[in-house]
Amino acid sequence: MERMRQVELDSRAARGLVERLGRRRKTVTLEEFSDCLGTNDWGRLCGALAPMLEEGALSPLKTAKSNGSTEHPLFEKYRIVGKPAPTHDLTTLHPTLVTTTYLERNPTSCDRWWNELVSLSTWLRMGSPQYDASLRERCWEVFGNEKAHELRGLAACVRNTSGRELRDLLVVREDAPEDLPFVAAPDVAAPACVVVVENRDPYLAIRSQLLAGRRTLFGEPVDAVVCGYGSKVRQVKGAPLRFALESMRAIQNARVLYWGDIDREGLVILAELCDEGLVEPFTAAYEVMTQARRSDPRPSPDGRGLPMPSLDGILAGNLRNRVEAIARDGLLLPQECVCFREIEEAMR
């Protein structure tokens, strides 16, 4: 708490210096910031300048020397950048997002995150359902990006303009304990049908329903679920999956259904596990993803550089065409497009 207060005081002092000097000059030196804050500590100086650098109110001179630090990068001199005029009508936003005057004072940040703010505002006006989705599921629902909460600039903008953390505004459910990477229904001694999911959120959703005695998902009988944790499940020719199946004492000819993200990386995992004879695709789940999503696929952060895997003998018909079209274009449709409540409603 004390450290946070110190960062706030340093930022306020540094901003005051820039506002005073900006009336008669276009540059400010690191030495002047150091004198203003009364410290030469790189961490404190970097923390004080970070908000203005992010907003675009400051920018390092191209000719200025750097301190060479990757953790606390600082430069000898900065250019004071004039604030552009506001370009958006703030009265269209939900009142929660204009609790402070931050967006009026920081039009650069407002412009940078305007589309996300409008999406969040629209969702808030819809009544914001309570605690029925995980954080990643909610981010996909609101922003069309399941990792939006990792965008530090967006989180800072929401915090500064509303006085609340993004996670709190999105009213998400807390994660369940992650005690095992796989689980079988309580009354099952030897699973005959196992679902393997690529990501943690769908795993936790299915896990909770299995433990509550619900054993059917998208029309398929399910005895157990395994979390693949991305590509870990396919390492050493699927050794982690073999270990999970053996640990659960799955029957020798157990049906193993795989369900993952629809992008090149997710399909590579599916194709390799199918080639090893370990899984078959959970086609019903992929159908739900492609037909009932809330947002369009987004550019994949990982998949563009990967080769397009062959889906011959894995998927067929219209489903294969839809899935291949998404991956071929370098896009991503994450599992989180099917949220917790949809899995809960689908299981019985």
| pLDDT tens per residue across span 165-190 | 898 888 776 654 444 588 888 888 89
Q: Which two tokens stand for residue 42?
A: 């790189």
Q: Is 183 left (phi over 0), alpha (psi -120 to 50) or beta?
A: beta
Is the pLDDT at 293 greater than 90, yes or no? no
Q: Which two tokens stand for residue 345?
A: 């409603």
| pLDDT tens per residue across span 104-145 | 888 888 888 999 999 999 999 887 666 577 888 889 989 988
What is the spatial distance between Cα 201 and Cα 312, in angstroms, rounded to a whole number?
A: 29
pTM of the model: 0.58
Nearest residue to 273 via CA among 305, 304, 302, 244:
244
Nearest residue to 242 via CA among 278, 188, 280, 207:
278
DSSP string, 204-240: HHHHHHHHTT--EETTEE-SEEEE-TGGGGGHHHHHH
Is the pLDDT at 315 greater than 90, yes or no? yes
| pLDDT tens per residue across span 320-331 | 999 999 998 889
What is the spatial distance between Cα 266 and Cα 309, in angstroms, rounded to a whole number?
A: 10
Q: Which two tokens stand for residue 175?
A: 């994660």
The top-level CATH class assigned to 2-80 is: mainly alpha
Give the orientation angle of helix 114-125 with respect to helix 152-162, to 10 degrees: 60
Q: Is 41 left (phi over 0), alpha (psi -120 to 50) or beta?
A: beta
Q: Which two tokens stand for residue 128?
A: 């914001």
pLDDT of residue 333: 92
> Are 146 and 136 spatial neighbours (Cβ–Cβ below 8 Å)?
yes
3-class SS of residue 301: coil
Domain ranges of the chain: 2-80, 90-169, 182-346
Say how many C-beta atoms besides its own lie within 10 A of residue 91's C-beta. Answer: 7
45-49 CB contacts, 8 Å cutoff, 24+ apart: 45/10, 45/72, 45/74, 46/72, 46/73, 46/74, 47/7, 47/10, 47/11, 48/7, 48/10, 48/11, 48/13, 48/14, 49/14, 49/74, 49/78
pLDDT of residue 11: 87
> Are 142 and 94 spatial neighbours (Cβ–Cβ below 8 Å)?
no
Is the pLDDT at 156 greater than 70, yes or no? yes
Segment 288-312 shows an average pLDDT of: 78
3-class SS of residue 80: strand
What is the spatial distance between Cα 103 and Cα 151, in angstroms, rounded to a whole number?
A: 18
Nearest residue to 200 via CA among 176, 168, 172:
176
> Are 282 and 259 spatial neighbours (Cβ–Cβ below 8 Å)?
yes
Is the pLDDT at 85 greater than 60, yes or no? no
Average pLDDT, rounded, for the chain? 86
Q: Which sign, positive or negative, has the C-alpha torsion 34, 76, 28, 9?
A: negative
Segment 247-261 shows an average pLDDT of: 91
Among 59-63, 235-239, 291-295, the range scoring the smallest mean pLDDT is 291-295
What is the spatial distance between Cα 329 and Cα 222, in angstroms, rounded to a whole number?
A: 33
| pLDDT tens per residue across span 194-224 | 999 999 889 989 999 998 899 999 999 999 9
Residue 121's contacts (CB-CB under 8 Å, 6 or more residues apart) are 92, 93, 94, 97
What does each C-alpha distance from 40 to 44, 47, 48, 64, 156 come to in angstroms?
8, 12, 12, 18, 26
